[in-house]
């Protein structure tokens, strides 16, 4: 069979490109997906107990780009969400990310914002341009709060100290002196109202001339089809057979546990409602236990089921062929990636896009924005090619 584009991966990147290229260029696309479903890591599903869970870790959609909301809004309604997170250490829950409430817990009495600011002015380490994740936190809140909430979590998550990671990693977490304890900074925070998978199904349904092959690796499929261009959203080092070495990634193991209503009777109601296992959507465990966080998606999906399911997230060493969940934001890894970047720049028939193919710690909105940009670039290349062919 003959296709214009062979697209590797049915995540945000692959599906957005299939939609744009099939509809805008009338191109015939084949999407090849190794897993048995759409959506890549953003896939959600109803588990055996009927609870909607995020199978590959919590996916909190947020963006400051209205164009991305508008684009995805063609395929979903939105459910506004306030992502609320706590941290658990020293046998108690802490308000998190760090804010005035956290400070009051630390000192054991009420305080004003001015007092908290004065405290931070005393304890923060003066660093004009924080160069790594340890510096970005201690320069804002000093050693005590860093050690309470960031040092252990970061070591557990990345198997590296915060001092070895780019400032952008811990810099993702806001620190505020008021009582705002929203986990994210972006203006638009919402979930696809009927879930991510439903949104991906509608995105695929909107694609003209597009086929998806599940449970299929492109290395196998490419031997049986012909195509003009390849779009690749898998891991770039795997694409090049690890010719410049295995890039560092961090992997994860997810452990789900379901609780029936009867098993939840002793749990405190949340906003007056029974049926929850923990007091917030997500609880981070910076210092105790082998997992980094426990997520209970029922807090944000709006489901009214009696039982609930929680997901414990255990960081794991990555081995080639396993799941590469996180590229490691670190200068040495970026240098190694540059070798692959050069190989890809020299390949005119393959476009690399998405979190793993460009080796970037991208959020969903950033991935969609990059895919839309790439679609625009491909359109220009394509029209140039058509003109050359007809000249």
- Under the binding rule (CB under 6 A), the answer on residue 360 touching ligand UDP is no
The full DSSP string for 130-173 is: --SHHHHHHHHHHHHHHHHHTHHHHHHHHSS-GGGS-HHHHTTS
Q: How far apart are CA 184 and CA 186, in angstroms?
A: 6
- Under the binding rule (CB under 6 A), the answer on residue 149 touching ligand UDP is yes
Q: How far apart are CA 143 and CA 124, in angstroms?
A: 8
Binds 145: which of ligand FAD, ligand UDP, none (CB < 5-8 Å by kind): none
Selected from 56, 75, 116, 153, the binder of ligand UDP by CB under 6 A is: 153
- Piece of 62-70, 149-157, 212-220, 336-344 that binds ligand UDP (CB under 6 A): 149-157
Beta carbon of residue 127, minimum distance to ligand UDP (angstroms, whole number) = 18
Selected from 3, 60, 116, 150, the binder of ligand FAD by CB under 6 A is: 60
Q: How far apart are CA 175 and CA 328, in angstroms?
A: 23
Q: Report 300-339 residues binding ligand UDP (CB under 6 A).
A: none
Beta carbon of residue 8, minimum distance to ligand FAD (angstroms, whole number) = 5
Beta carbon of residue 270, minimum distance to ligand FAD (angstroms, whole number) = 21
Edge-first strand listing for the sheet containing 78-80: 62-63, 188-192, 78-80
- Which residues, in sequence order, are CB contacts of 352 under 8 Å at separation 6+? 232, 233, 236, 239, 344, 358
Number of residues that bind ligand FAD (CB under 6 A): 34
Half-sphere exposure of 180 (CA within 13 A, CB side): 11
Q: Which is nearer to ligand FAD, 138 or 357 (CB)?
A: 357
| Rounded CA Rg of the chain | 23
- Under the binding rule (CB under 6 A), the answer on residue 157 touching ligand UDP is yes
Selected from 20, 25, 27, 35, the binder of ligand FAD by CB under 6 A is: 35
Q: How far apart are CA 164 and CA 378, in angstroms?
A: 37
Q: How far apart are CA 98 and CA 173, in angstroms?
A: 9
Beta carbon of residue 320, minimum distance to ligand FAD (angstroms, whole number) = 12
Residues 24, 207 contacting (CB under 8 angstroms):
no
Q: Which is nearer to ligand UDP, 143 or 240 (CB)?
A: 143
DSSP E strand boundaries for the chain: 2-8, 29-32, 44-46, 52-54, 62-63, 78-80, 85-89, 92-96, 188-192, 210-213, 226-232, 249-259, 282-284, 293-295, 308-317, 326-327, 350-352
Give SS3 for 254: strand
- Under the binding rule (CB under 6 A), the answer on residue 367 touching ligand UDP is no
Q: Report 352-371 residues binding ligand FAD (CB under 6 A).
A: 354-356, 362-365, 367
Beta carbon of residue 301, minimum distance to ligand UDP (angstroms, whole number) = 17
The residue to which tokens 């198997």 are assigned: 159
- Under the binding rule (CB under 6 A), the answer on residue 94 touching ligand UDP is no
- Piece of 65-73, 168-176, 234-242, 373-381 that binds ligand UDP (CB under 6 A): 168-176
- Under the binding rule (CB under 6 A), the answer on residue 378 touching ligand FAD is no
Q: Return residues touching ligand FAD (CB under 6 A).
A: 8-14, 32-35, 40-42, 56-61, 217-218, 233-234, 252, 325, 354-356, 362-365, 367
Q: Which residues of this protein are in contact with ligand UDP, per CB under 6 A?
A: 87, 149-150, 153-154, 157, 169-170, 172-173, 284, 286
């Amino acid at each position: 069979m003959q296709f214009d584009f062979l697209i590797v991966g049915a995540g945000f990147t692959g599906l957005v490109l299939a939609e744009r290229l099939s509809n805008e260029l009338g191109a015939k696309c084949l999407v090849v997906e190794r897993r048995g479903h759409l959506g890549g890591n953003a896939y959600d599903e109803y588990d055996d107990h009927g609870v909607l869970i995020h199978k590959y870790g919590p996916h909190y959609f947020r963006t400051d780009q209205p164009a991305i909301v508008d684009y995805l809004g063609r395929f979903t309604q939105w459910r506004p969400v306030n992502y609320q997170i706590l941290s658990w250490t020293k046998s108690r829950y802490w308000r998190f990310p760090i804010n005035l409430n956290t400070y009051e817990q630390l000192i054991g009495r009420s305080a004003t914002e001015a007092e908290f600011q004065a405290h931070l002015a005393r304890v923060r380490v003066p660093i004009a341009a924080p160069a790594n994740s340890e510096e970005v936190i201690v320069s804002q809140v000093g050693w005590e709060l860093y050690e309470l909430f960031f040092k252990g979590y970061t070591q557990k998550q990345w198997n590296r100290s915060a001092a070895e990671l780019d400032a952008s990693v811990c810099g993702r977490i806001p620190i505020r002196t008021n009582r705002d304890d929203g986990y994210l900074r972006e203006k638009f925070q919402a979930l696809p109202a009927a879930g991510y998978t439903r949104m991906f199904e509608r995105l695929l349904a909107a694609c003209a001339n597009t086929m998806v092959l599940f449970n299929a690796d492109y290395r196998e499929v490419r031997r049986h089809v012909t195509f003009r261009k390849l779009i690749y959203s898998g891991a770039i080092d795997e694409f090049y057979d690890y010719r410049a070495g295995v890039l560092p990634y961090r992997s994860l193991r997810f452990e789900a546990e379901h609780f029936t209503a009867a098993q939840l009777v002793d749990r405190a109601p949340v906003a007056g409602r029974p049926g929850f296992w923990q007091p917030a959507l997500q609880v981070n465990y910076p210092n105790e236990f082998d997992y980094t966080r426990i997520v209970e998606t029922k807090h944000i999906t709006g489901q009214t089921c009696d039982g609930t399911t929680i997901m414990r997230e255990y960081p794991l060493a990555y081995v080639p062929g396993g799941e590469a969940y996180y590229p490691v934001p670190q200068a040495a890894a970026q240098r190694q990636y540059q070798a692959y970047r050069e190989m890809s720049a020299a390949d005119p028939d393959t476009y690399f896009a998405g979190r793993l193919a460009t080796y970037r710690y991208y959020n969903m909105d950033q991935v969609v924005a990059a895919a839309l940009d790439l679609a625009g670039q491909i359109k220009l290349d394509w029209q140039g090619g058509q003109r050359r062919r007809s000249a």
